[in-house]
Structure 1
Amino acid sequence: MFKIPELYLSHQDYFYFIKQQKYKNQFIQSILNKSPKLEQITLYFHPLSSPSRAVRSLLLLAKIEFNEKIIDILKSENKSDQYSLINPNQTVPSIKQGSFTLFESHAILKYICEQYRLSDFYPQDNLKLKAQIDSYLDFHLNEMKQITEYVMISQNNQNQQELKEKQKNKKIQINCYYFLLKFFLMKENINTSTTIKLSQLQI
């Protein structure tokens, strides 16, 4: 009914009040934008997956209504034909919204922020801060997997060859830890903010 111009104008004070709220659910967003309500997102994830937890945390913190389905990677459900139609790369997380599907956590995080105008998490009006967040996300994608691999290897029984390989890569992984600490975790411009950013969800 708020698509009727006269009704929309008569409730402008109400809309102004709602716009000041930090987050809005999909119904409120559709009224404010005078657009159809977005179809609900379905999140395909696994709790052991750090990228999955980052996407799920964003949806929860932003109070976005969503469905969720656990893909049991320990049982190789991510390699099923059905899931491969959603994510040909057979990884988690993935999302589906209507007929639209998307995989890779950083792409999903940015899509959600831009779709729902979550500027606190991923600012559109502060180019430098946005670039710094992107910088960490790229670092996370390219470098942090070394730390994950190191931890996973440490949990397994290893033969002599694996132990030698682990020792050989130890220096690289220590350097990665040091770089993460010095240039991201202790950097004021991203991590002392009063609001959570995408970069912090991925740490």
Structure 2
Amino acid sequence: MEPQAEFVPGLMLARAAAFSWPGRLEEEFPAAAVLVPALANDKEASSHSDRMCRLVVAVGKALTLGESDIRGLWLGAALHDVGKICIPGSILRKAGPLAAEERAILNEHPALGERLCAPYRALKAALPIIRHHHERFDGSGYPDRLAGEAIPLAARIVQIVDIFDALITARCYKPAWPIGQALAGMRAECDEGHIDARLLREFARLIG
């Protein structure tokens, strides 16, 4: 699939470059920016990315991760959905349920995002997050059906934050959920084996 000019994830890459990173990323970032046909403001995607970045850093600090790991989390959160530039806007913005074929196309975005970012040395820390943020703890996720701790920790963290932000944010197909309802829904997902229970407890404690 080729990137769709009609959908650009609002300055995801540009915001990643603005973080306090080693010089190597700043030098390579202009090359990474060619992953998108143009950097345009998509308010929904940009806001989602901003919230994700702030939350994953807070989670990383709560888990006492090292600085390099937290920076990797930040970068992965900024780029986790970059593969969606390859997905038709008609699928991304569809108000109703996706057909099975449309869902299959959408589910390609983690692998596509990894492929887009893989040539850039400075984006290496983001690759496992981009590829695996839709895996499930019980092995029922995608693209590789990884289970348990075989799913990289950073991807499990980004997954939890991604689900939470999706639930508390109004979308074209759903209203925003209150925080309490969102956490309850995530606990139900955890009971079904989809989410890392330990990380969800830490996240819920952080959200308070």
TM-score by length of 1: 0.31
Higher relative contact order (CA 8 A, sep 6+): 2
Q: Which has the higher helix share?
A: 2
What is the TM-score of this pair, normalised by structure 2?
Answer: 0.31
Higher radius of gyration, 1 or 2: 1
